[in-house]
Amino acid sequence: MRAIGHVRSPYQITASIPKGLGATHDAEGTLEILPEFEPGLQDIEGFSHLYVLWVFDRGKPGDAGLIAHPPSDDRPHGVFATRSPSRPNPLALSVVELLGRDGAGLRVRGVDMLDGSPILDIKPYLTSVPPEHVRRGWIAEAENRAQAEGEG
């Protein structure tokens, strides 16, 4: 595996990235692709959204347990049922909106990455599961509990 580029984002430290229930990702940034890979971007401008596969490269050593404690819940969950950065392979996946292209730079909205994160791949975002078919497991339960507590 080798980086095809790096993320330019407003976030220098993990604590700056919005997290937890109701967090939204509207920040803008740039996917700076290395010049040698620029030919692979041909026709990417036609897509509104992209998948970005990137690397959690600032994990703490020894952080690779299989149970995660996400900021959106006070209960633990299996790491594969979360987006925790501490996972067996430090692979991250983001969906971003493509705002424009300047040569080997892709201006995007929706970055939730740290500045300088290595990018491994970019793919077009093609289809959505109809929202009414998506069940969100413990996340929906945590939202319901938080709402009930807010009303209690």
Residue ranges binding a second copy (CB under 8 A):
1-2, 4, 33, 37, 39-49, 51, 53, 66-67, 76-83, 87-89, 91, 93, 95, 120-131, 133-141
Count of beta carbons in the 10 Å neighbourhood of residue 78:
11
- Residue 51 or 59 with smaller CB distance to a second copy: 51
Say how far apart CA 142 and CA 144 lie, in whole Å: 5
- Residue 13 or 129 with smaller CB distance to a second copy: 129
Minimum CB separation of residue 147 from a second copy in Å reads 17
Minimum CB separation of residue 138 from a second copy in Å reads 5
Say how far apart CA 40 and CA 17 lie, in whole Å: 29
Minimum CB separation of residue 11 from a second copy in Å reads 20
Minimum CB separation of residue 46 from a second copy in Å reads 2
Q: Tokens standing for 146?
A: 């938080």
- Residue 62 or 131 with smaller CB distance to a second copy: 131
Q: Is 43 exposed, middle or buried (0-12, 13-18, 19+ CB in 10 A)?
A: exposed
Say how far apart CA 38 and CA 41 lie, in whole Å: 6
